[in-house]
């Protein structure tokens, strides 16, 4: 089964917009069509963005924290990397993917996408990952 770590922007787009590729990916994640790997740090980031930028209440943001946490394999990265030089916070996704043995990082963030890959992890857009899931 494919294993991915999804960037915060992918989750937030899927949660907030009912149409589009991030929403399709969210629905496939909920259906367990692939294994999603995340970390507590990423879950906290998703809830912070939902609260601070989209006006979610603490309770509603926590519901997504819980939902994503339950459908994911939650890992605790043991290393700190500095491979994404232009936005150091994006290194958390690479660390998580490495720890969780993910095949893909799915993102809309050019800082990650510009990296292209890291070790055996491909960094791809939502549309590219959707195609991989559908092909399986």
Q: What pLDDT sits at residue 10?
A: 98
**CA angle in degrees (0–180, nearest 5) for 40-94-113:** 125
For 15-50, the pLDDT digits (tens) are: 999 999 999 999 999 999 999 999 999 999 999 999
Tell whether the model's pLDDT for residue 91 goes beyond 90: yes
Per-residue tokens: 75: 């890992």
Q: What pLDDT sits at residue 56?
A: 98
Give dist(CA 2, CA 34) in Å, integer. 5
**Inter-CA distances, 19 with 10, 22, 104, Å:** 13, 8, 23
Q: Characterize the bridge pairing of strands 117-118 and 121-124.
A: antiparallel
Q: Report the domain count for the chain.
A: 1
CATH code for the domain in which residue 93 is found: 3.40.50.1010
Domain boundaries, position 44: 3-135
User: In this structure, are residues 83 and 91 in contact, taking their beta carbons and an 8 Å threshold?
Assistant: yes
For 60-83, the pLDDT digits (tens) are: 999 999 999 999 999 999 999 999
Q: Which of 61, 130, 118 is nearest to 93 (CA)?
A: 118
Mean pLDDT of 82-90: 93
Q: At what angle do helices 40-54 and 8-16 cross, to 10 degrees?
A: 50
User: In this structure, are residues 47 and 13 in contact, taking their beta carbons and an 8 Å threshold?
Assistant: no
Tell whether the model's pLDDT for residue 118 goes beyond 90: yes
Per-residue tokens: 37: 């790997």
Q: Report the helix count and the strand count for the chain, using DSSP H and E.
A: 7, 6
Which letter does DSSP use for residue 4 in this model?
E
Mean pLDDT of 48-57: 98
């Amino acid at each position: 089964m494919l294993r991915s770590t999804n960037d915060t922007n992918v989750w937030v787009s899927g949660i907030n917009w009912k149409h589009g590729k991030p929403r399709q990916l969210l629905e496939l994640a909920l259906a367990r069509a692939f294994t999603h790997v995340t970390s507590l740090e990423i879950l906290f980031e998703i809830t912070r963005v939902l609260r601070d930028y989209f006006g979610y209440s603490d309770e509603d943001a926590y519901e997504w924290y819980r939902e994503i946490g339950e459908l994911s394999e939650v890992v605790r990265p043991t290393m700190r990397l500095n491979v994404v030089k232009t936005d150091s916070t994006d290194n958390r996704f690479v660390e998580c993917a490495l720890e969780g043995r993910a095949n893909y990082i799915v993102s809309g963030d050019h800082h990650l996408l510009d990296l292209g890959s890291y070790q055996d992890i491909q960094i791809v857009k939502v549309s590219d990952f959707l195609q991989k899931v559908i092909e399986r």
